[in-house]
């Protein structure tokens, strides 16, 4: 479908020339001789772009532009201004007032067409971005109107507009990541990046370069300089997920960045200031980790300015039916299936379960029921309680690692390599936290001393 362009000019000749040029390029054209007439045509027709003469009898072109911007239906309409020799300054002024572009008389055919096409393309892209953004915001919308969720929403509304650091705690699968994204979307930083770092999935040797980036030649393999997550999140939000799994070494570096508001790329001499809002999440008891020396107390206090607790599903059983129905609707749409309903008994059974894996487990159970059931989901389709539990299994962690490695590091790790790195790392931090007392570390790790010695040798871990 071709776009419709409205021309508003009091000079008949100009209107005729523009009409010919635009018509020849396949546009629909509307004409008006005065701003009043033009504004009327705008409210009666679907217009994609307007071309306004700066100087018009009665309401001037510039005033008309302001009226167009003030009406919600036309606030985003691309408007091009035409100026005579004497009115260039007014045209420039019009651009400051929101005109998309201007061109001078005498009109140049190609210049007009380039301007019109660019303006239409830009406005089309803007619309697409808005739609995508609205869609993304929808996906991060949280479901649930139970008392605990209402309390959570009011906390989110208070904290989101600030720059306050938030530590999100709660059991696995309760929606901590969703909360972090919601804080970002509700904040003035929403148009800047939201960068997630899965601290548990990055091996200790990589974490510094992942977080702070590196300069070309900083280490073997550093062919080009690379920005780290802190820099990528500049002006936006950095989400440190699974912060409880970060090594002591990495904790020290993050602490320094938070204290100074500056980061230094690996292999660089100079610090770069970054404006980043930091959110962190964990399903561990960080206070206990602080008590046993596995998490730095100073970092804990820096991160935990505003604590937010993500409630378990057991604390909000009222929401289970709504969540289940909404997940079912989503899966059916995604898979092009007719919508499946749950009968009352099913909803009741779901509401009564223990849900140790929280919303994530509910989602998995619902997906499975929708796939395996007939037209209506009945009690027979409900899996036995505890059958599809999904605690933080190797597969979730591996999936997270895959997402991360894929997006940020060309080096692919096999699952085995990943597991070994994680193991080596964990052994090292545990040893560090016990000041290299082997018996104590072996106790914490739940392995025999001889076994720990063997692992240390095979991983080359030395004090
Ligand atoms: N209130 C909610 N409304 C809709 N979906 C939710 C809600 N809470 C969680 N979910 C969904 O449940 C799943 C798990 O959520 P999320 O990944 O945020 O949990 P988490 O607390 O970060 O878990 P983990 O500690 O295991 O990382 C996601 O698919 C998420 O979209
Ligand atoms: Mg998570």
- The answer to whether the CB of 172 is under 6 A from ligand 1 is yes
Model pLDDT for residues 148-206, shown as the tens digit of each residue:
999 999 999 999 999 999 999 999 999 999 999 999 999 999 999 999 999 988 888 88
Strands 341-342 and 213-214: unpaired
Sign, CA dihedral 382-386-390-395, equals: negative
Question: For residue 106, is the peptide bond before it cis, meaning its omega torsion is within 30 degrees of 0?
Answer: yes
Alpha-carbon dihedral angle through residues 333, 335, 336, 337, given to the nearest 10 degrees: -90
Q: How much distance in Å is there from the Cα of 363 to the middle of ligand 1?
A: 9
Q: Which residues contact 173 (CB under 8 A, 6 or more apart)?
A: 357, 358, 359, 360, 361, 390
- The answer to whether the CB of 178 is under 6 A from ligand 1 is yes
Alpha helices in 187-285 (DSSP H): 204-212, 229-232, 248-260
- The answer to whether the CB of 38 is under 6 A from ligand 1 is no
Q: How much distance in Å is there from the Cα of 173 to the middle of ligand 2?
A: 7
- The answer to whether the CB of 175 is under 6 A from ligand 1 is yes
CA distance to 149, 199, 220, 248, 428, per residue, from 425 (Å):
37, 12, 21, 10, 5
Residue 296 has pLDDT above 90, yes or no: yes
The overall average pLDDT reported for the chain is 88
Alpha-carbon span 358 to 342, nearest angstrom: 20
Q: What is the DSSP letter of 266?
A: B
Strand order in the sheet with 237-241: 194-198, 237-241, 277-282, 166-169, 306-309
Q: How much distance in Å is there from the Cα of 359 to the middle of ligand 1?
A: 6
| Per-residue pLDDT, 140 | 64
83: helix, strand or coil: strand
Alpha-carbon span 21 to 359, nearest angstrom: 59
Q: How much distance in Å is there from the Cα of 415 to the middle of ligand 2?
A: 20
| Per-residue pLDDT, 389 | 41
Contact 166, 280 (CB under 8 A): yes
Residue bearing tokens 């409630």: 311
Model pLDDT for residues 373-422, shown as the tens digit of each residue:
888 888 888 887 754 443 333 344 444 444 443 334 445 666 767 777 78
Residue bearing tokens 């100079």: 270
Q: Whose CA is nearest to atom 10 of ligand 1?
A: 175
- For the chain, which domains are there? 4-136 (3.40.50.2300), 147-309 (3.40.50.300), 314-381 (1.10.8.60), 414-459 (1.10.10)
């Amino acid at each position: 479908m071709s776009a419709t362009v409205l021309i508003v000019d009091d000079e008949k000749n100009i209107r005729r020339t523009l009409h010919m040029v635009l018509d020849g390029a396949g546009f629909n054209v509307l004409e008006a001789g005065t701003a009043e007439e033009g504004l009327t045509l705008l409210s009666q027709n679907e217009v994609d772009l307007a071309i306004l003469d700066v100087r018009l009898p009665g309401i001037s072109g510039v005033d008309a532009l302001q009226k167009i911007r003030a009406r919600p239906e036309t606030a985003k309409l691309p408007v091009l201004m035409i100026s005579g020799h004497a009115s260039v300054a007014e045209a420039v002024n019009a651009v400051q007032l929101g005109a998309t572009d201007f061109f001078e008389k005498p009109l140049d055919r190609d210049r007009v067409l380039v301007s019109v096409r660019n303006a239409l393309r830009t406005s089309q892209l803007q619309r697409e971005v808005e739609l995508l953004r609205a869609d993304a915001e929808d996906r991060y919308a949280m479901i649930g109107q139970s008392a605990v969720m209402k309390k959570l929403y009011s906390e989110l509304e208070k904290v989101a507009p600030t720059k306050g650091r938030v530590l999100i705690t709660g059991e696995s699968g309760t929606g901590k990541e969703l909360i972090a994204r919601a804080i970002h979307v509700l904040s003035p930083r929403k148009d800047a990046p939201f960068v997630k770092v899965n601290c548990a999935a990055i091996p200790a040797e990589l974490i510094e370069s992942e977080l702070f980036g590196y300069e070309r030649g900083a280490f073997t393999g550093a062919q080009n300089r690379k920005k780290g997550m802190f820099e990528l999140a500049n002006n936006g939000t950095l989400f440190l997920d699974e912060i409880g799994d970060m090594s002591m070494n990495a904790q020290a570096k993050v602490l320094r960045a938070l204290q100074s508001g500056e980061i230094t790329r690996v292999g660089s001499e100079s610090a770069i200031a970054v404006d980043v809002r930091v959110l962190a999440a964990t399903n561990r008891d960080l206070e206990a980790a602080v008590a046993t020396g596995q998490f730095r107390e100073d970092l804990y206090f820096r991160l935990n300015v505003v604590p937010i607790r993500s409630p378990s599903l057991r604390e909000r059983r009222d929401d289970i039916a709504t969540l289940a129905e909404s997940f079912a609707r989503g899966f059916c749409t995604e898979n092009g299936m007719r919508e499946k309903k749950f009968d009352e008994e099913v909803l009741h059974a779901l509401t009564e379960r223990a849900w140790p894996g929280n919303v994530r487990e509910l989602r998995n159970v619902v997906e499975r029921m929708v796939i395996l059931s007939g037209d209506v989901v009945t009690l027979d389709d409900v899996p036995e309680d505890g059958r599809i539990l999904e605690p933080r299994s190797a597969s979730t962690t591996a999936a997270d690692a895959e997402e991360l490695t894929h997006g940020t590091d060309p080096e692919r790790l096999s699952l085995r390599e990943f597991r070994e790195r994680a193991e080596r790392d964990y052994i090292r931090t545990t040893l560090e936290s016990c000041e290299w007392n082997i018996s104590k570390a072996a106790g914490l790790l739940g392995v025999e001393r001889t076994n720990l010695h063997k692992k240390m040798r095979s991983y080359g871990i030395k004090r």
